[in-house]
Chain A
């Protein structure tokens, strides 16, 4: 394998080593610089210990060695050296902090709200509402403001940006940016209850043109379903308690408790990353969400097989 290849395969696994934005690159660089310092320190001290263990072993019958109780000069020197290292690391840290986390913009481009156990993304400038999939244009830094609907959550996209907590009643800000189009995995990294493990999200970086296209498509209200099954599904959706949690733009459903479903079928994953968004998986989900994602806030509605078929048909129209 050539060198680039090795680098790539390492990067594929160790996401932190594969920064894809100026902010993440600054942290990665600091990581490399400090790792070099740490490695040298470790090698020197551990080397000295191992050397001493091999060189100064006791052999049967030997008397006790010369009793050296210390040496003040040495002590002062090795107090001073760490001081210098700490000062250097501090300066590097301060520099990196300002690069990877610049001051917040006066008005955010994106509002991200953590919920037990999914992420809501609102684009205040255009009015788009998304869940678990956050689209950003390539090459433009987006300012995000964070909030939480319940407990603490933490937003972490290792390849793109610093971690930041979503704290109820304490808005936080970061900048997010991607160098190249692609899909970047993000997770919740602050323990937030039962399904903390399944609170994934995707940052989907697109060319500005594609992003604009996506944004305008998201602003359209849900299309009226054409097929009979799907129409029955819509009726069922509007009659049951689905509407007390979910919203579908253009129907009676307008609640904000659960994810907005207006463009549900355009999403790639279900249940914040737990399964792919396919009709089969959706059927499993509707049959009993607690089977797929135990503890999820959506109860088991005990839909009949027929009803599930209708609902799936309807949801698949929500492109």
Chain B
């Protein structure tokens, strides 16, 4: 361990003179830069694990009728490979980059909530551990990364693997939402003066937009996982057709998350390309407005297209056609981006250093991935290519060809900033060429394997004409990629120790992260250059031809919102998505009433009265806020206490309702009404409890002298949350109690 400490010291990552042990410093850190590096190192560790799994897959498929792996072992390997690469490599790596770079790019001292940041990070290794613990707990999941029901249900997968998988993804999902809330709050509240939203560097802009997408999409997955876990652990049957559930429902919910997820990992990669390509072409991005705007369009459209993953499920031509149209539309903003990057190159003075090599390769590979993507959006072509190796090739061109290449480009680009040392260019170029050759060798041929009729996820195949040699080529390519990955790790280690000193701005880049030392000091900046355009350092270096000033026309850009309220508002967005799924599920499962308990068993009048209590509590907490604003602390505390009591009464009412239902013989695993009802109202009840705890804490704090002198913004934030909980109940109440009477 002491050698490691010495290495870190030499690399400038730890300081032996400090009293605390360096490991403690890293474990307890709340500095966004260290957390960023922790995220990246975690991603690297899991990348090695996921990579080994990939090699096992390719080894098994190298020759026909191979028996290297048993079928179930193979199924576990590809499930873990997919889950690991998406949730434990791509997302943490991109969050790591965002964590490190975004506050620097906007001239902030740190993230808005450093503690939340550390918490969100530690959920990643914890989630990864939970997922991999399933190996010890009697079998890792072997149901594929999208765990299609009913295969993922207990009758068909009885081992604990799927439960660990679902729990791990829940944990990771919560961490991702936490980070995104933090990133949104950071961008909205921590920007340096004059760093208006329209002057954001594209990477930061895209991370900002992307964070909204995470807020919308991840809770949808969380809802799906919760429903799956209720099925598996509590014996319900949301997704079990044999007991009245719906197998297609899982696909809808999963892909409503799954498709945005693709963009969640792709948009930061777009951001990287938009940073690196201009710097190495020595020109600003061609059409900043269009690149930034198309990101919003992509994020928006990505929420609208999920059913293109379901063209073969039999939703009918009507539904298919609408989704063909919406999916193809994504090609337009994406095309705008690709063309903007290409046009940035034209007329530049292009320097092909390693970061640029990776990014141009990513650009070209993404072009191909985009085109095959359009072919998959065309339902009639999808009917042939879906679930074949053509699809495998397509999404690996997105995930590896674009995202991994962009991340590698970004690491080569920002490594000097993080460590103060340059990566070796010679090793970097070797890595690049090995990687590009290996990647294309592995995946170009897989398009043809798909057209030859090879379905995905088969553990072995018959010796059909052409299949054997194509698979062999693919396997050899995979090993070239592995060699490139090893070389990259070697480059990281040696350059960290003996790399050339980088200086503040080795690439002569223009965004604020290069305006501080490498690595930046705690607090990030000693002084900031004037910010009047999108490229402050260009203006600084070229006073004779500065960029045109980017104006501040809108009050929204000058007004800085309060960070706690911003975070709670962002949290509310994510919670709304979660409840939207549960409410939709309730509606679908109860469209046709079943035998047994149902909406008719509910007591509208009694619950109506308790609902009034809850609504009243929104008024009391509003009065409490008003009292605080007027400086009347006693009234504030009284109104707050009234809110607590009203909330308590509502919960009691819910308890009574549950009691009556149980007496009627309802149980969570009874019929679909009971399952959906208890899930929906139960989660709402949990949120009420959380709100009550938060209120009680505020009430407790309000008694302290410190609170009386400087009332903190906590009350406003909690009140916002409380109003949300009430609003959700209004929707739940109308859906569950009122709607049946409207029929």
Contacts and interface: CB of A to CB of B under 8 A. Distances in A.
Indicate, yes or no, whether A interacts with B.
yes
The 8 closest A-B pairs by CB, nearest first: A13-B466, A169-B241, A197-B458, A70-B287, A162-B383, A172-B314, A96-B380, A52-B345
B317 A97 contact: yes
Contact of A34 (B351, B364, B381, B538): B381
A154 interface: yes
Contact of B247 (A24, A31, A70, A169): A169
Contacts of B345: 49, 52-53, 56
B380 A93 contact: yes
Contact of A56 (B75, B150, B321, B349): B349
A69 B288 contact: yes
B655 interface: no
B350 A151 contact: no
B352 A57 contact: yes
A89 B455 contact: no
A65 B283 contact: yes
Given A53-B352, A170-B248, A83 B286 contact: no
A18 to B, nearest CB: 10
Given A14-B452, A41-B371, A152 B247 contact: yes
B150 A151 contact: yes
Interface in B341-372: 342-343, 345-352, 360, 363-364, 367-368, 371-372
Contacts of B460: 197
A53 to B, nearest CB: 6
A71 B283 CA distance: 14
Interface in A89-105: 89-90, 92-94, 96-98, 100-101
Given A52-B346, A86-B329, A167-B248, A154 B364 contact: no
Interface in A190-247: 190-197, 200
Interface residues of B, number: 94
A173 to B, nearest CB: 8
A154 B332 contact: no
A170 to B, nearest CB: 6
Contact of B455 (A150, A156, A164): A156
B375 interface: yes
A82 interface: yes
Nearest to B391: A189
B589 to A, nearest CB: 13
Contacts of B246: 169-170
B349 A158 contact: no
Interface string A42-79: 10011011001100111100101111111110110011
A52 B348 contact: yes
Interface in A11-27: 12-17, 24, 26-27
A295 B375 contact: no
B328 A86 contact: yes
A45 to B, nearest CB: 6
B380 A90 contact: no
A273 interface: yes
| Residue with the highest number of chain A CB atoms closer than 10 Å, among B329, B385, B387 | B387
Nearest to A83: B332
A165 B313 contact: yes
A48 B343 CA distance: 9
B451 interface: yes
A45 B287 contact: no
A188 interface: yes
Contact of B284 (A67, A170, A273): A67
B547 A69 contact: yes
A70 B386 contact: no
Given A42-B371, A58-B350, A65-B348, A164 B384 contact: no
A194 B151 CA distance: 10
A27 to B, nearest CB: 5
A27 B71 contact: no
B290 A75 contact: yes
Contact of A191 (B248, B364, B451, B457): B457
Interface residues of A, number: 88
Nearest to A10: B466
Given A27-B380, A167-B314, A169-B241, A86 B287 contact: no
Contacts of A71: 286-287
Contact of B331 (A35, A56, A82, A168): A82
A163 interface: yes
Contacts of A261: none
A243 to B, nearest CB: 24
Contacts of B336: 75, 78-79, 82
A162 B380 CA distance: 8
B72 A13 contact: no
A128 interface: no
B330 to A, nearest CB: 9
A158 B453 contact: yes
A38 interface: yes
A15 B339 contact: no
A97 B380 contact: yes
Contacts of B457: 191, 196
Nearest to B284: A69
Contacts of A150: 150, 156
Contact of B286 (A31, A53, A69): A69
Contact of A90 (B290, B324, B375): B324
A155 to B, nearest CB: 9
B131 interface: no
A42 B368 contact: yes
| Residue with the highest number of chain A CB atoms closer than 10 Å, among B70, B332, B351, B383 | B383
A42 B367 contact: yes
Given A65-B347, A78-B335, A167-B314, A197 B461 contact: yes
Contacts of A190: 148, 312, 387
A187 B70 CA distance: 20
Nearest to A79: B336
A163 B386 contact: yes
A58 B466 contact: no
A193 B79 CA distance: 12
B380 A165 contact: no
A291 to B, nearest CB: 11
